[in-house]
Amino acid sequence: MEKTWLVIGFFLVVVGIPVIAGVAMDGFKRWLKHKEKMAEALNSVTAEKAAQYAAHTERLEARVRVLERIATDKGVELADQIEQLRDDRPN
Protein backbone atom coordinates (compact mmCIF):
# COMPACT_ATOMS: atom_id res chain seq x y z
CA MET A 1 0.00 0.00 0.00
CA GLU A 2 2.82 2.38 0.88
CA LYS A 3 4.47 1.64 -2.45
CA THR A 4 1.27 2.67 -4.26
CA TRP A 5 1.25 6.08 -2.59
CA LEU A 6 4.89 6.48 -3.42
CA VAL A 7 4.18 5.77 -7.11
CA ILE A 8 1.18 8.14 -7.10
CA GLY A 9 3.29 10.88 -5.43
CA PHE A 10 6.11 10.34 -7.90
CA PHE A 11 3.63 10.49 -10.81
CA LEU A 12 2.15 13.74 -9.49
CA VAL A 13 5.58 15.32 -9.11
CA VAL A 14 6.97 14.13 -12.44
CA VAL A 15 3.84 14.56 -14.59
CA GLY A 16 1.34 16.67 -12.65
CA ILE A 17 3.49 19.68 -11.81
CA PRO A 18 4.85 20.15 -15.35
CA VAL A 19 1.34 19.80 -16.83
CA ILE A 20 -0.11 22.32 -14.40
CA ALA A 21 2.83 24.67 -15.01
CA GLY A 22 2.38 24.34 -18.80
CA VAL A 23 -1.34 25.12 -18.61
CA ALA A 24 -0.66 28.08 -16.31
CA MET A 25 2.08 29.36 -18.64
CA ASP A 26 -0.26 29.14 -21.65
CA GLY A 27 -2.91 31.11 -19.77
CA PHE A 28 -0.35 33.73 -18.80
CA LYS A 29 0.83 34.05 -22.42
CA ARG A 30 -2.75 34.55 -23.60
CA TRP A 31 -3.36 37.17 -20.90
CA LEU A 32 -0.13 38.95 -21.81
CA LYS A 33 -1.04 38.99 -25.52
CA HIS A 34 -4.47 40.42 -24.63
CA LYS A 35 -2.87 43.16 -22.53
CA GLU A 36 -0.51 44.05 -25.41
CA LYS A 37 -3.45 44.35 -27.83
CA MET A 38 -5.31 46.54 -25.35
CA ALA A 39 -2.24 48.78 -24.95
CA GLU A 40 -1.91 49.11 -28.75
CA ALA A 41 -5.58 50.05 -29.06
CA LEU A 42 -5.23 52.61 -26.28
CA ASN A 43 -2.11 54.06 -27.90
CA SER A 44 -3.83 54.51 -31.26
CA VAL A 45 -6.82 56.23 -29.63
CA THR A 46 -4.51 58.47 -27.61
CA ALA A 47 -2.48 59.41 -30.70
CA GLU A 48 -5.66 60.25 -32.60
CA LYS A 49 -6.93 62.46 -29.77
CA ALA A 50 -3.55 64.19 -29.52
CA ALA A 51 -3.68 64.98 -33.25
CA GLN A 52 -7.20 66.38 -32.88
CA TYR A 53 -6.12 68.54 -29.93
CA ALA A 54 -3.10 69.79 -31.87
CA ALA A 55 -5.26 70.77 -34.85
CA HIS A 56 -7.75 72.51 -32.57
CA THR A 57 -4.95 74.37 -30.78
CA GLU A 58 -3.51 75.45 -34.11
CA ARG A 59 -6.88 76.88 -35.19
CA LEU A 60 -7.24 78.71 -31.88
CA GLU A 61 -3.73 80.15 -32.14
CA ALA A 62 -4.49 81.44 -35.65
CA ARG A 63 -7.63 83.14 -34.38
CA VAL A 64 -5.74 84.69 -31.45
CA ARG A 65 -3.09 86.04 -33.84
CA VAL A 66 -5.83 87.66 -35.93
CA LEU A 67 -7.47 89.11 -32.83
CA GLU A 68 -4.13 90.45 -31.58
CA ARG A 69 -3.51 92.09 -34.93
CA ILE A 70 -7.01 93.62 -34.91
CA ALA A 71 -6.65 94.83 -31.31
CA THR A 72 -3.34 96.53 -32.03
CA ASP A 73 -4.46 97.97 -35.38
CA LYS A 74 -5.93 101.47 -35.02
CA GLY A 75 -6.87 101.90 -38.65
CA VAL A 76 -10.26 102.27 -40.27
CA GLU A 77 -10.21 98.62 -41.33
CA LEU A 78 -11.17 97.38 -37.85
CA ALA A 79 -14.88 96.98 -38.56
CA ASP A 80 -14.17 95.32 -41.92
CA GLN A 81 -11.83 92.80 -40.31
CA ILE A 82 -14.37 91.97 -37.60
CA GLU A 83 -17.01 91.38 -40.24
CA GLN A 84 -14.57 89.26 -42.22
CA LEU A 85 -13.99 87.11 -39.13
CA ARG A 86 -17.71 86.60 -38.76
CA ASP A 87 -17.94 85.54 -42.40
CA ASP A 88 -14.94 83.15 -42.10
CA ARG A 89 -16.29 81.38 -39.01
CA PRO A 90 -17.16 77.70 -39.71
CA ASN A 91 -20.81 76.72 -39.40
Instruction: Sketch the domain layout of the chain as residue ranges.
Output: 2-88
pLDDT by residue (tens digit) across 6-33? 888 888 888 888 899 999 999 999 999 9
pLDDT by residue (tens digit) across 37-84? 999 999 989 999 999 999 999 999 999 988 888 777 666 667 777 778
DSSP sequence for the chain: -HHHHHHHHHHIIIIIHHHHHHHHHHHHHHHHHHHHHHHHHHHHHHHHHHHHHHHHHHHHHHHHHHHHHHHH--STTHHHHHHHHHHHS--
- pTM over 0.75? The answer is no
- pLDDT for 70 equals 75
